[in-house]
Amino acid sequence: MADSSTQSITIAASPDQVAAVICDFPSYPRWTDAMREVEVIEEYEDGYASQVRFVLDAGVLADEYVLEYAYAEDLSRIEWHLVTPSKMQKLQRGSYDLVGNADGSTTVTYTLEVELAVGMLGMFRRKAEKMIMDTALKQLKRRVEATGSAQ
């Protein structure tokens, strides 16, 4: 059974800058440690990715899967779900919620729900989820803030 986990981080950039990095899927392998390959395989008419193929290699966790994305009109919410089960996952649903703060920063809330195809004790699964979310948010923060300072 899948459980949902949520974590937040504050990034020193506008929601638009954060959304631009999240939506730039082809660049993920350059700034996310475990992503080996990312390919946009289908787009909406507005150019945003609707389906994206990921090749993940995080040592003991290696997988290839396709996520389907949906976007709030103002990009304040970017959500996804697993198109079909993969070698490692039966289900994946997630979202980024972006909230602009008065100081110009953005609070990013990451929600993730994963049901693995392989058995894992709940305690280890929760620890793995926390590590995945911590890493994803920290790498997103580092990328957005580095990109923002380069502009």
Q: If you average pLDDT over residues 82-108, what whole number do you get?
A: 95
Please say if the pLDDT value at position 61 is more than 50: yes
Distance CA(124)–CA(106), nearest Å, equals 31
Please say if the pLDDT value at position 68 is more than 70: yes
pTM greater than the 0.95 cutoff: no
- The fraction of the chain above a pLDDT of 90, given in percent, is 70
Please say if the pLDDT value at position 149 is more than 60: no
Distance CA(68)–CA(135), nearest Å, equals 22
Query: Which of 9-18, 111-120, 138-147 shows the lowest per-residue confidence on average (mean pLDDT)?
Result: 111-120
Residue 31: phi and psi, rounded to 5, are -130, -5
- The fraction of the chain above a pLDDT of 70, given in percent, is 87
- Predicted confidence at residue 151, as pLDDT, reads 45
Please say if the pLDDT value at position 2 is more than 70: no
